[in-house]
Structure 1
Amino acid sequence: MPSPQHLLLKQFLTASTMPLARRRPSIAAMRLSLELGSLGQFMPWGVHFDSLQIEGLAAEWIRPEIADSRRVLLYLHGGGYVLGSLNTHRSMVGALAQRCGMQALAIDYRKAPEHPFPAALEDALLAYRWLLGQGYAAHNIIVAGDSAGGGLMLALLLALRDQHLPLPAAGIGLSPWTDLVLPTSTIRRVADEEIQLVEALAIRGWGGLYAGDVPLTSPLVSPVRARLHELPPLLLQTSDAEVLYDDVLAFAAKATKAGVPVTLQSFSGLVHWWHLFWRYVPEAREALDKVACFTTGIWAAQQAAAQVLKTVRRPAEKLSSDARLRARL
C-alpha cells in the first residue's frame, strides 16, 4: 500500500492539476506551470551544477562532491516530448547522481511541437558523441531518462546500435514511454480514474506532436516496435497505477526475448513521475536507491569481467615470453 506521503501527494496533484486540465491549457501555459512548480525542488546537499553549451544545446553538469570522475550518467528528462527542462528535473537528477556516486550530464533537448522528431534524438546523439569526444569511455557511461526521456533513452540505444557506435554500459528507464500509439486497451484500463484518463488523452495528443510526419509506429519513435537485439543491460521501473504500465511490461518482455538483460522493478499504486518527489515520498527514495544498486552491479560486473580477462591473458603472455626465449636459444 502506498505511504501516507504518497497519498497526500496524489490528492495534491489531483486538486491542483484537474481544474487546469479541464480548461485544456496551451502547451505554453503547461510549460510555465511546470517551471513554477519546480521552484520548490532544491538540489541535494553536497551536489553542485554548472551550465554549459554543447554546440548550441543547453546542458549542465551535476556533480556530487563525492563522485567517480571517470563515469557519467547522461540524463534525458521526461515531459511527453513537449514539456520539462533542466529546471524541472535538476533536483531528482542530483539525488540520483549522488546515490550512484557519478557525475551527471543533463541536456535540454529540443521539444515538440516546435521541433518534432528527430530533433530530440539528434540532440541525445550529439550529447553522447560529445562525451566520447571528451574522453569518456562508452563503458563508463550510463544513459537514463524518465517517461518520454526514458523512451528517448531507448531510441538513443537503438540509434547507436544501428550506427555501429560504442554502446553505453547500461540504460535506465524510469516509467519509460515505449509506445506512442497508446493502445485503446490502455485508455479503457485507466478510464475509472479521472486523473489517469486526462493524462492518457493528453500524452496521446503529444505523441502525434512529437512524431510529426513520421508514423507513430516508427521504431525510433515507439521503441517497443523496434528489433531489440544487442542492447546493453536495462533497468526499467514502473508502477501499476501508471498509464504507461502496460507498455513498459510489453517492452520488457520483448527485450528479454531478444536476449537483452532486463531488470524490471514494478511498484504498486504510485502516480506517474513519483521519482521527482524524492524529498517527500519514501517510495521515490526507494526507487532511486534501487537504481543506485543497479549501477553498482554494472560496475561490479565490469570489474569481474576485467579480472577474468587478466587471468586469461597472463598464461598466454607467459607462453609468448617462453617462445621468444626459446627462439633466442
Structure 2
Amino acid sequence: MTSPELTRARELLGHLVSEPEATMDDFRRLYEEVLANFEVPADGVVEAVDADGVPSYWVSAQGADQDKVVLLVHGGGFCMGSATGYQEFGYRISKASGARVLVVDYRLAPENPFPAPMDDVVTAYRWARQQPGVSSVAFVGDSAGGNLVVAALVKLRDDGDVAPSAAVACSPLVDLAGEGSSLTERAHLDPLPAATLVQAMGGAYLAGKDPKDTPLASPLYADLQGLPPIRVLTGTHEGLHDDAIRLAEKLRDAGVDVELEIGEEMIHIWPLFSFLPQAQDSTDRLGAFLHKHLASSPAQV
C-alpha cells in the first residue's frame, strides 16, 4: 500500500503538469512552487557566489569538509528549476557526504539551448577546482541535471581536465531521442507524462539538432570510456526508468565503475522529496558513495 509520504510526493510531482494550458513561464512557476516545500535547516550555511560568471550557491551542513566539493546540477527538463530551489537538497547531500555543495544556476532553454547549460556546468566545475584548498570535486545531478552531469564528464575528459572524483545521476534524462520502452510501458505508473516532456523540453534544449548526432546533448550516445565512478538511480514507477538502465549498461560496457540503485515503487527524482523515508535512505547511500570517492582522490591542481 502506498504510504502517505509517497502519495504526497506523487502529488507534488503531478503539480508540475497541473495546468493543461501552461506556458514555459507557468511550468517554471509550478516547479518553484514544488521546490518551496523544502527549506534549508537552521544549521545550514548558504552563500551566493559567482562561479566565473555562473550564479551559484555554496551550501554546507555543519562540519562539512571545505576541501571536498560536490557540484549539484538541478533538474527541470533543461527549461525550469533553479539553484535556489535546490538548496535544501544540497544541504542533505552536504550532510550525507561530509562535503560542501556548490549548487549551480545554469542558463535555461529555450532561451539558452545546447550547449549553454552544459557549458555553465563545466565552467562551474573548473572554477570550483581552482578554489584555494579544494582537493577533490564530484557531481550530482537529477533528471536533466543528470544529463548535464554525464555530458560534462565527457566534455571534461575530452578537454583533458582533471577528472571529477565521482558522479551521481538521479533519474537521468540521457536519451533525447526518447527511445526508452519505459516511456510508454510505465506511463501509467508515472505522475508525469514523461514522453511528452522529453519531446517538448528535450526539443527546446536541442533546438533542432539530432540527438544521436549530438552526444553531448544526449549522452546515452556518447563515448563513455574513461569516466570516473558513477552511481545511477532510477525508480520502477517512472517513465525514464530505461534511460538509467541503459546508461548503467553502457557505462559498464565502457569499463566504468558503476553502481545502480533501483527504487521499488519510486517516482522520478524521488531523493528530492525530503519527507520521504526512501529519499533520505537514498541520499545517505549516495552521500556514502561520494564520501568514499572524494576521500580517495589525490589532491590535484
Q: 1:253 to 1:266 in 2, by over 3 A?
A: same
Cα distance in structure 2, aligned partners of 1:46 and 1:35: 23
Q: Equivalent residue of 1:242, what SS?
A: coil
Q: Find the counterpart in structure 2 of residue 157 from structure 1.
A: 153
| Equivalent of residue 115 in structure 2, options 112, 115, 118 | 118
* Alignment check: 8 A CA contact 1:207 1:216 kept: no
Q: Find the counterpart in structure 1 of residue 201 from structure 2.
A: 206
* Alignment check: 8 A CA contact 2:184 2:195 kept: no
Q: Find the counterpart in structure 2 of residue 47 from structure 1.
A: 44
Q: What TM-score, normalized to structure 2?
A: 0.92
**Identity fraction in percent:** 31
Q: Find the counterpart in structure 2 of residue 6 from structure 1.
A: 6
State the superposition RMSD in angstroms. Answer: 2.0
* Alignment check: 8 A CA contact 2:183 2:240 kept: no
* Alignment check: 8 A CA contact 1:3 1:281 kept: no
| Equivalent of residue 87 in structure 2, options 72, 87, 90 | 90
* Amino acid across the alignment from 1:28: D
Superposed displacement of residue 12, structure 1: 5.5
Q: Which has the higher helix share?
A: 1
Superposed displacement of residue 213, structure 1: 3.6
Q: Equivalent residue of 2:191, what SS?
A: helix
Cα distance in structure 2, aligned partners of 1:17 and 1:166: 37
| Equivalent of residue 23 in structure 2, options 18, 22, 26 | 26
Cα distance in structure 1, aligned partners of 2:33 and 2:190: 24
Superposed displacement of residue 154, structure 1: 0.4
* Alignment check: 8 A CA contact 1:3 1:282 kept: no
* Amino acid across the alignment from 1:93: G
Q: 1:163 to 1:13 in 2, by over 3 A?
A: closer
* Alignment check: 8 A CA contact 2:17 2:27 kept: no
Superposed displacement of residue 146, structure 1: 0.7
Q: Find the counterpart in structure 2 of residue 312 from structure 1.
A: none
* Alignment check: 8 A CA contact 1:151 1:223 kept: yes
Gaps of 5+ in 2: none
Cα distance in structure 2, aligned partners of 1:151 and 1:175: 9
* Alignment check: 8 A CA contact 1:2 1:270 kept: no
Q: How many residues align?
A: 298
| Equivalent of residue 277 in structure 2, options 274, 282, 288 | 282
* Amino acid across the alignment from 2:258: V
Q: 1:117 to 1:272 in 2, by over 3 A?
A: same
Cα distance in structure 2, aligned partners of 1:194 and 1:256: 27
| Equivalent of residue 236 in structure 2, options 240, 249, 254 | 240
* Amino acid across the alignment from 1:40: N
Cα distance in structure 2, aligned partners of 1:36 and 1:168: 32
Q: Equivalent residue of 1:97, what SS?
A: helix
* Amino acid across the alignment from 1:283: Q
Q: 1:48 to 1:187 in 2, by over 3 A?
A: same
* Alignment check: 8 A CA contact 2:187 2:194 kept: no
Q: 1:189 to 1:301 in 2, by over 3 A?
A: same
* Amino acid across the alignment from 1:247: D
State whether structure 2 residue 64 is matched by structure 1 residue 67.
yes
* Alignment check: 8 A CA contact 1:2 1:268 kept: no
Cα distance in structure 2, aligned partners of 1:39 and 1:295: 26
Superposed displacement of residue 136, structure 1: 5.3
* Amino acid across the alignment from 2:290: T
Cα distance in structure 2, aligned partners of 1:190 and 1:243: 5
* Amino acid across the alignment from 1:75: L
Q: What TM-score, normalized to structure 1?
A: 0.85
Mapping 1:261-300, distance limit 5 Å: 261-278=257-274, 280-299=275-294
Gaps of 5+ in 1: 307-329
> Could you tell which deviates more after superposition, 30-39 or 166-175?
30-39
Larger RCO (CA within 8 A; separation ≥ 6): 2
* Alignment check: 8 A CA contact 1:239 1:267 kept: yes
Render the CA deviation track for 1:19-38: whole Å, top value 9, x for unaligned.
Answer: 41xx2300101111222333
Q: 1:267 to 1:291 in 2, by over 3 A?
A: same
